[in-house]
Amino acid sequence: MDGLPVVLGVGALVLLASVLAVRVSIRLGLPSLLVYLGIGVLIGEAGFGVEFEDATLTQSLGLAALVMILTEGGLTTRWQAVKPALGPGIALSTVGVAISIAVTGVALHFLLGLDWRTALLWGAVLASTDAAAVFSVLRTAGVGKRLVGTLELESGINDAPAYIAVVVLASSMLVDWTLPLLVVYELAAGLAIGLAFGWVGAQALRRAALPATGLYPLATVAVCVIAYSSGQLAHASGLLATYVAGVVLGNSRLPHRSDTLSFAEGLGWLAQIGLFVLLGLFASPERLLDAVVPGLVAGAVLLVLARPLSALVATLPFRVPWRERAFLSWAGLRGAVPIVLAMIPLAEGLPGAERLVDAVFVLVIVLTLVQGATLAPLAKLLGLSVSAEAREIQVDSAPLDELGAELLQVRIQPGSRLHGVYLSELRLPLGSTVSLVVRHGEGFTPQHTTRLQERDELLVVATERSRDAAERRLRAVDRAGRLARWKGESGR
């Protein structure tokens, strides 16, 4: 009991230092994972002397953190943004993973003298990209929506097939012709479970009258975690079920949606920080020196051969321009996921597993420095940089159960086509009306002659029947202006 205040205090200081480090890492254009790993190493045996060598516990906590990260990734994925990249994203996360495993395994078999099963295990561990690493760098890369959507889908989905491959190769399971059928079942069942829990959860949350706003984010995250557990219990892909359930929930008309997304984002950051610090604490700097050569060899194979080939083959059916394909080949950042996957064979006690873990640490650090610092310049060199686009309006809702209505809170973003539109030109559907406008912190009741401005906040009261139509109309005018209908904009 006496040590509890010390543990809590140290944990809070580590968390605070990690949060403050995010600002520095974003300015440098590097994923924050390097800072978090460094904090973990500093606390560990080479720094303050805290020894932590429990591979099984690290694997369990790592998977729990990945579930939280995938939950946040799914909830914040906008379907309209990733829909155009659906084909390339799915191909990269399935066909691309298979090609990467095969190419990496063959190369490392000959270059490092690994037996075939171990070499393919290395390939499986290294096949998955990392959502946290990818998007912390893409914030400053300034590339278009199609590329961002492709990488977002890939990083959210490819954890599942890579995890399946690692589990199979790390076990004594016989690898035969039934393996592809097993993989197809796990992915298909995980997809179905995620869709089911996402849809049922969205319907339940829309109809639930919870007594406090803060309960909605908790319930939403709980649905995604239950989707993971159900997927695992059904011998399906729980990781895919988690991400898909998050996507369905995040694109549904959830009450207090903005509060839910803010909570999920904070939870995702907490999971990333805890995971990377834990992995840094587990690392041994002395062993890492011996893993430099195999780590660099594996990184070179991945960067120069496996990733470009997998990106080329996976995107061939979709007529992706060569410039975008070149960027995709370079943007496959590795982060916490390969390190967590490497813990699986270590927890199983496989020979050479410790060498694999150490090599993955080296590879992640080197590739993060090399790729993270060069993505933005590469985007400019390839002519893929785009100017900052106006963000869509933010729409949040709260149920008014006794009235059979909903209250929509709308924030008009800079650059929105709603700027300059008169209230009478909104033409909201029957049963909905703008009841309040807040401008520069001052609220007033709008008139038909009120002209909307950037950064205005609107309160729209709509009946349950007109609620969806009202939001579609607001989004249509936000994108196309007062003549949205003439331009064919529906707001969907």
Q: pLDDT for 121-156, tens place per residue?
A: 999 999 988 776 666 666 556 677 778 888 888 988
Give Cβ neighbours of residue 475 (< 8 Å, ≥ 6 apart). 392, 393, 395, 491, 492
Estimate the share of the chain in helix, then strand, then coil, as percent rounded to the nearest 5: 65, 5, 25
Strand-pair category, 442-444 with 405-411: unpaired
User: Radius of gyration over alpha carbons of the chain, in Å?
Assistant: 24
| pLDDT (0 to 100) of residue 18 | 72
pTM: 0.80
Q: Are 18 and 274 spatial neighbours (Cβ–Cβ below 8 Å)?
A: no
How far is 313 from 449, CA to CA, in rounded Å?
57
Measured in whole angstroms, how far is the alpha carbon of residue 430 from the centre of its chain?
Answer: 38
Residue 367 has a pLDDT of 87
Task: Please tell me the predicted confidence (pLDDT) of residue 39.
Answer: 82
140, two tokens: 């400053």
C-alpha span between 472 and 468 (Å, rounded): 6
Parallel, antiparallel or unpaired: strands 394-400 and 432-439: unpaired
Structure-token pair, residue 148 = 């961002």
Residue 401 is predicted with a pLDDT of 63
| CA–CA gap between residue 129 and residue 138 (Å, rounded) | 13
**365 CB neighbour count, 10 Å cutoff:** 19
pLDDT at position 248 is 95
- Give the whole-angstrom CA distance, residue 279 versus residue 271: 12
Using alpha carbons, select from 5, 16, 21, 14 the residue that is nearest to residue 50.
14
What angle do helix axes 353-372 and 292-301 make, rounded to 10 degrees? 60
Tokens 């209505």, located at residue: 405
What is residue 11's predicted lDDT score, i.e. its pLDDT?
Answer: 74
Look at residue 391 in the predicted model and tell me its pLDDT.
60
Looking at residue 79, its pLDDT comes to 84
What residue has token string 């604490």?
281
Task: Quote the pLDDT of residue 195.
Answer: 96
Q: Which long-range contacts (CB under 8 A, 24 or more apart) does 220-225 make?
A: 220/75, 220/249, 220/254, 220/260, 220/264, 221/68, 221/71, 221/263, 221/264, 221/267, 223/197, 223/198, 223/249, 224/67, 224/70, 224/71, 224/74, 224/75, 224/197, 224/249, 225/67, 225/71
List, for the chain, all residue ranges whose pLDDT scores fall below the cut of 50. Answer: 1, 388
The distance between the two most distant Cα atoms of the chain, rounded to a whole number of Å, is: 77
Three-state DSSP at 411 gives strand
Which residues neighbour 395 within 8 Å (Cβ) at sequence distance 6 or greater?
Answer: 257, 408, 409, 410, 471, 474, 475
CB 250 within 8 A of CB 77: yes
C-alpha triplet 28, 33, 37: angle, nearest 5°? 120
Say what the pLDDT of residue 136 is. 62
Q: What whole-number distance in Å separates Cα of residue 96 and Cα of residue 307? A: 8
The residue with tokens 């080949």 is 329
What domains, with CATH codes, occur in the chain?
A: 4-381 (1.20.1530.20), 394-480 (3.30.70.1450)
- For the record, the structure tokens of 287 come out as 């062993």
Predicted local distance difference test score (pLDDT) of residue 120: 93
Cα 226 off chain centre by: 18
Model pLDDT, residue 247: 93
pLDDT of residue 28: 57
Burial environment of residue 467 by CB neighbours within 10 A (0 to 12, 13 to 18, 19 or more): buried
The angle that helices 131-141 and 4-28 make with each other, rounded to 10 degrees, is 40
